[in-house]
Amino acid sequence: MIGFIGLGEVVRAMAAGIREKTGENVVALYRPTISQRNFEDAREAGIDVVTNAEELAARASVIFSAVTPMTAGEVCRNVAPHLTSEHLYVDCNSVTMQQKIENARFAEASEADFVDAALFGVVAELRQATPIIASGRHAARLMPISKHYGMNVRIAGPEVGQASAIKMLRSVIFKGMAALFIESLTVSQKIGVSNQVIDTIQETYPDLQWKEFIQIFISRTILHAGRRAEELGNCAQTLQEVGGYADMSLAGVTALQRLAGYNLETAIGVRDQDLDSILSILSDAYFQKPINRTG
């Protein structure tokens, strides 16, 4: 049986895909304070919830960790003592190279095999087939598992940290780009020229449908701004750990934290609003509710 740590969007989506592909349930470790409703929803989705690491390790030999970046290290430390040489610990969290290396030490101290993994794509849509880049000397152990469960795994290299570095450095570009779009287009919307700005981008780079791309890009950024700010902070740390500059990444963190402070998730809804409506909501929030505008 496959096990997960966490019960967020990633785990729910992958569990649903695994159940559809194989008919199998998964087991997931979650905090003991889980509500009865969340517990029942998880069971309906094919997830058997357990509340202690010992039971997770007893029921699953392959464990995917998919928690918030802030808790990834603590979670690994708590689970590691219950692992054995039979276990494969797959760390899918968006954390720095150094954090993955540290997590590997904890898992391998119990003789478990550790894989550094990074998810690429919209997990809610692609589910267990979301592209996964894996690295580490035990990454090849994922391949037969991937085939059985309909996963999409590619091995990047033999070192823990390589997969997470690819994710971090890619995120510098995409999360930074989202912050730039929002910064430009909220002002463009306020002064009534947002369509013209996008049209000129379209004319310059005609191979991409920019309006649709920006609509999806911005709406997803709004829905997950707080988490993406934390992840971009880890990107900045990765850059600094190897002696690079992180000026743009740190500025992006500030922009995403500011965006998260407006709490626009409900107003944006479930990604079905057109771009003009999204920009109007953003512009109204930015210019009517001045939150930390200098930060």
For the chain, the domains span 2-159, 165-288
| Confidence (pLDDT) at 290 | 45
Mean pLDDT of 39-43: 86
Encode 240-278: b = buried (16+ Cβ within 10 Å), e = exposed: ebeeeebebbbbbbebbbbbbbbebeebbeeeebebeeb
| 50-59, 118-127, 285-294: least confidently modelled range | 285-294
| Confidence (pLDDT) at 40 | 86
Interval 176-190: pLDDT, tens: 999 999 999 999 999
Indicate whether 80 pLDDT > 60.
yes
Mean pLDDT of 157-171: 96
Indicate whether 197 pLDDT > 60.
yes
| Confidence (pLDDT) at 293 | 40
Indicate whether 36 pLDDT > 90.
no
| Confidence (pLDDT) at 272 | 64
Mean pLDDT of 51-68: 96
Indicate whether 58 pLDDT > 70.
yes
Interval 252-295: pLDDT, tens: 999 999 999 999 988 887 556 899 999 999 999 999 854 444 44
| Confidence (pLDDT) at 38 | 84
d(CA 154, CA 156): 6
Average pLDDT of every residue of the chain: 93
- Look at 266 and 192; give whichever has higher pLDDT: 192
What is the homologous superfamily of the domain 165-288 according to CATH? N-(1-d-carboxylethyl)-l-norvaline Dehydrogenase; domain 2 (1.10.1040.10)
| Confidence (pLDDT) at 292 | 44
| 32-36, 46-50, 205-209, 224-228: least confidently modelled range | 32-36
Is 2-159 a domain of CATH 3.40.50.11540?
Answer: no
What predicted TM-score, i.e. pTM, was given to this entire model? 0.86
